[in-house]
Chains A and B, each alone.
Chain A
């Protein structure tokens, strides 16, 4: 088996989708000649032509709005938003049209649009280049929200997103773009299934996207403290896999939710509440959260203090009322 980076796996997924389905069209800023600022669309315009991988004017609402019209005519657009914080101008199109069109037309106008958004910090990006915006999207009924954390999921989840007849916000953890792993293109389970990345007995870390490698590292470090941690990779925020999450939490009786985004009103709050509602009698301690602070994303030279790291995760694990 050969190796690939997450960026290469995503590029392979896009190429395979373009090859297999003539209705798939990519559009966005710099996706054509340049191949995207992260090179996720590298070579696609050359292979499939400038119409299948279209360099658009610099206007995110226009890009997504145009994609809506294309989808209404039967195409399957894949939109690239260049950075997390640059996707906000498209928010109205996303919330008022993309998320609602199937519902308001009683199923007559489904919009199979994939919206790819590089997100999260950890690459030393300057202001507006490191946001974790998943809570906005996960709060919007009608959208699927998925995020890969491994090279294999990068391929499989993106293929599933493009094949979905519903709009999918596909959040790409940009600091994992260059992470490398063994890779053979293969489908993953349907959108909506979490996966247990590490089976433990002491406590369960619930995480997704850029925080998965941090949690796995924390789980290794925890062995020195005598803790054997489970790590669950959510992969899909909407739909949410209550079944896998609750089974993993019940098996250990303790849980910590980890994500980069600010904690207040974040996805972690929803996860903690769901676990508490469903697993209360299995819990030996309250569900804790390790998240970014409730501050605008910091300047690059300070971001390491904001992002959940191994020590902060282990500190949270230590607070899970072990003494009783």
Chain B
């Protein structure tokens, strides 16, 4: 009997095909909801802890100010480039908030806000984009992997780390973030497949902001939703409104808990929108209309949450002012740190290529040292 001879509608769990082919599983529980989950504006929101909602708000305000200040620093030449997450702040802060201290975050290049929300100082989170170093923070101290620029290549790292932690008996979940374009990469698929097979405690957060630089999702994927991609790997897919901070927190918390409890990895697709261009070097007017941007501005995550909190009577003008004040303090700290010139040591280029420099690198370091000495003499 070949696969093609299989009778239609063969019952699940029958003796055919034989064991080595693996048990067939019912895909229904893995399928995402047809519509992205929303919480704000529904009765579910009333059941949430008001203090959690206020904390989400404070962090959103900080996040928005962080994006604005980083963009300004780029215009002032203090950052080489900045891929803003303006409009995606709910995804960013929720990803950081749902993790325990011992969990790990594996961010992509647009996710410095998630990194900062995890406790890394902005000046350390942004060294890659400032250009003074490839990477700024201690990954092990913060349990935050370096920003990954090659798309989705950090996803298998998250799987491997989560797998290793489980081998050691440690309670660790890894959460990795990928964009809609990144879901086309082979490493994304291999990571989902490995995570499924190893039953690794990993959460894959896809921030679907509609565009991979200029290419819209319609040209990127024919999948019903990106969350459906989970099902082919035996993983649960969830679909959530990425601009609804309460929904993001709810879905990601459940996903992390699902992974932590040993029930397997989860793929979460957050439907969101990048209100700014891809980076400051991009011209978004070439590929999207002002009307589209305006429509999404009406669904600004900060606006949605603030409206809800005000209507529910959970914040007042004083709370709003306090959040804004904290944001101004963050922006002032960023300005102070980024307007100071970074200290650069050219000879450090050779220090960490290997545990011990090779004889060849020692020779080259000596050459550079001589050049630096000659430069100093000439001055």
Q: Which residues of A contact B (CB under 8 A)?
A: 25, 51, 56-57, 59, 61-62, 64-75, 77, 89, 92-93, 96-97, 100-110, 141-142, 144, 164-166, 192, 238-240, 242-243
Contacts and interface: CB of A to CB of B under 8 A. Distances in A.
A98 to B, nearest CB: 10
A89 B168 CA distance: 29
B135 A92 contact: no
Interface string B185-198: 01100110110011
Contact of A62 (B162, B191, B351): B191
Interface residues of B, number: 41
A92 B150 contact: yes
A203 B193 CA distance: 54
Interface of B: 133-135, 138-140, 145-146, 150, 153, 155-165, 167-168, 174, 186-187, 190-191, 193-194, 197-198, 348, 351-355, 358-360
Contacts of B163: 66, 69-70
Chain A interface mostly: mixed
Given A105-B146, A110-B355, A142-B354, A61 B160 contact: no
A56 B161 contact: no
B40 to A, nearest CB: 35
Nearest to B145: A72
Contact of A93 (B140, B156, B360): B156
Given A97-B153, A104-B146, A62 B352 contact: no
Given A69-B157, A93-B153, A105-B139, A61 B186 contact: yes
B187 A65 contact: yes
Contacts of A243: 359
B157 A57 contact: no
A77 B168 CA distance: 14
B153 A65 contact: yes
Contacts of B133: 106
A165 B355 contact: yes
Given A97-B150, A106-B135, 11 more contacts: A65-B153, A65-B187, A65-B190, A69-B159, A69-B174, A73-B164, A73-B165, A104-B134, A106-B351, A164-B355, A240-B359
Contacts of B161: 69-70, 72-73
Given A103-B134, A142-B354, A65 B156 contact: yes
Contacts of B162: 69
B359 A109 contact: no
A69 B139 contact: no
Contacts of B159: 62, 65-66, 69
Nearest to B157: A69
A121 B174 CA distance: 41
B182 to A, nearest CB: 13
B186 A102 contact: no
B146 A75 contact: no
Identify the interface centre among B155, B348, B358: most chain A CB within 10 Å of its CB. Answer: B358
Contacts of B194: 56-57, 59, 62, 65-66
Given A66-B160, A68-B157, A92-B153, A57 B187 contact: no
A144 B354 contact: yes
A51 B163 CA distance: 10
B45 to A, nearest CB: 36
Given A65-B153, A65-B156, A102 B193 contact: no
Given A62-B190, A105-B139, A240 B360 contact: yes
Contact of A142 (B155, B174, B353): B353
A66 B156 contact: yes
